[in-house]
């Protein structure tokens, strides 16, 4: 028996525009099949009924996935008033109804309640773990999961249109925000019910729907281009952290998992140029060697410690 093919060493990001009725893991599997990549992962799950931006990491880019998961996200969504469903979206069964359909003025009035750092309870049909079990598995058995409230960050929530039974919104939010829970809670605040009927993610960090491609488009492009020429750089997920060029000696230490110390006046000047002021900045840095990503490192005082070293 021959050895199992491991796949190609492709490193970088693909900005996929997810189709409706596809799960995030299905998209990742399709990207691996189309590109032949040895390793792939996604940055932030997206409900099957949703469409839009799903960044897929290949190879060494998977080491930067946590930074994309923490990135700001933008959604466009539609809420239908007067009905609650068990999933808080149009995929579920209707469990309660009301004849009340709020006007635009009423909706605008409650939006400040859902802006800033707010508390929400994730939907019963969600990937939240309860004692090691997913909430949606508990819900599918017909049981109610005891899901604890969590704090999430809503930077902007704007009403775009209101047409009687439905309203369209634009949302800018941080990690862990459930749009379905937002629709449900807005309905309660308006003394009616609400659930999501249309959901589209238009941006994740620096990945926008403007340059996202569908799986069908990716397959078409791969007929003419090798996958290595289609992927975005590994560092595309790290635009929000300082980039610091290392000397050959420093890069060698970092590649071996060793710390790098900055002690001279020249070191301080180089760090300052990169936006890293000693004694003031504490956080992650993208370490570069010859202009190429070498590692994600953490700055503590005058010491730079490797967190994730890239094998590029």
Residue 243 has pLDDT above 70, yes or no: yes
| Residue 169: partners with Cβ closer than 8 Å, 6 or more residues away | 75, 76, 77, 78, 79, 157, 158, 159, 160
Residue 303 to residue 261: CA distance in whole angstroms: 5
Quote the mean pLDDT of the chain.
90
pLDDT, tens only, 53-96: 999 999 999 999 988 888 999 999 999 999 999 999 999 999 99
> What percentage of the chain has pLDDT greater than the value 90?
68
Instruction: Give the model's confidence band at 132: pLDDT under 50 very low, under 70 low, under 90 confident, else very high.
Output: low
CA angle 134, 196, 18 (to 5 degrees): 70
Q: Which of 17, 21, 47, 137 is catalytic?
A: 47
Full DSSP string of 73-125: EEEEEEEEETEEETTSBTTS-EEEE-S----HHHHHHHGGGGSEEEEEPPPSS
Q: Can you list the pairs that 157-163 forms with residues at least 24 positions away whose Cβ atoms lie under 8 Å? A: 157/111, 157/114, 157/115, 157/182, 158/111, 159/104, 159/107, 159/108, 159/111, 160/76, 162/102, 162/103, 162/104, 162/107
* Cα–Cα distance, 18 to 74 (Å, whole number): 15
pLDDT for res 1: 41
Nearest to 240 by CA among 271, 210, 207: 207
How many Å is the Cα radius of gyration of the chain?
23
Is 99 catalytic? The answer is no
**Coil, strand or helix: which one is 213?**
strand
What DSSP state is assigned to residue 61? G
- Which domains does the chain possess? 12-71+207-235 (3.30.2350.10), 74-202 (3.30.2350.10), 241-309 (2.30.130.10)
Please determine, for residue 272, whether its predicted confidence score (pLDDT) is greater than 90: no
Question: Nearest Cα to 31, choosing from 159, 233, 213?
Answer: 213
pLDDT per position as a tens digit, 21-53: 998 899 999 999 999 999 999 987 888 899 999
Q: How far apart are CA 295 and CA 178, in angstroms?
A: 32
pLDDT band at 271 (very low <50, low <70, confident <90, very high): confident
**The pTM is what?**
0.89
More confident residue, 15 or 138: 15
């Amino acid at each position: 028996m021959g050895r199992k093919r491991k796949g190609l060493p492709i490193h970088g990001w693909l900005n996929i525009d997810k189709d409706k009725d596809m799960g995030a893991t299905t998209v990742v599997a399709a990207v691996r099949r189309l590109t032949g990549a040895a390793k792939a992962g996604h940055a932030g799950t997206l409900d099957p009924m949703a469409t839009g931006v799903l960044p897929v990491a290949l190879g060494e880019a998977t080491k930067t996935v946590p930074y994309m998961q923490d990135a700001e996200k933008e959604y466009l969504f539609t809420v239908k008033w007067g009905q609650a469903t068990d999933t808080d979206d149009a995929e579920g069964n209707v469990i309660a109804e009301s004849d009340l359909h709020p006007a635009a003025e009423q909706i605008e009035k409650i939006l400040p309640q859902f802006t800033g750092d707010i508390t929400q309870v994730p939907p019963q049909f969600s990937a939240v773990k309860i004692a090691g079990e997913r909430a949606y598995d508990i819900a599918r058995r017909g049981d109610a999961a005891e899901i604890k409230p969590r704090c999430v960050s809503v930077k902007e929530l704007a009403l775009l249109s209101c047409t009687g039974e439905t309203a369209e919104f634009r949302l800018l939010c941080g990690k862990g925000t459930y749009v379905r829970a937002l629709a449900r809670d807005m309905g309660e605040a308006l003394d009616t019910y609400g659930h999501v009927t249309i959901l589209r993610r238009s941006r994740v960090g620096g990945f926008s729907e403007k340059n996202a491609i569908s799986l069908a488009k990716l397959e078409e492009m791969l007929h003419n281009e090798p996958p290595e020429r289609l992927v975005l750089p590994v560092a595309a997920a790290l635009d929000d952290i300082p980039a610091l060029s290392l000397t050959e000696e420093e890069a060698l230490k970092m590649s071996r998992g060793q710390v790098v110390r900055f002690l001279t006046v020249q070191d301080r000047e180089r760090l300052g140029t990169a936006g890293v002021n000693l004694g003031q900045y504490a956080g992650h840095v993208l370490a570069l060697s010859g202009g190429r990503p070498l590692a994600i490192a953490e700055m503590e005082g005058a010491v730079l410690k490797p967190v994730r070293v890239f094998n590029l």
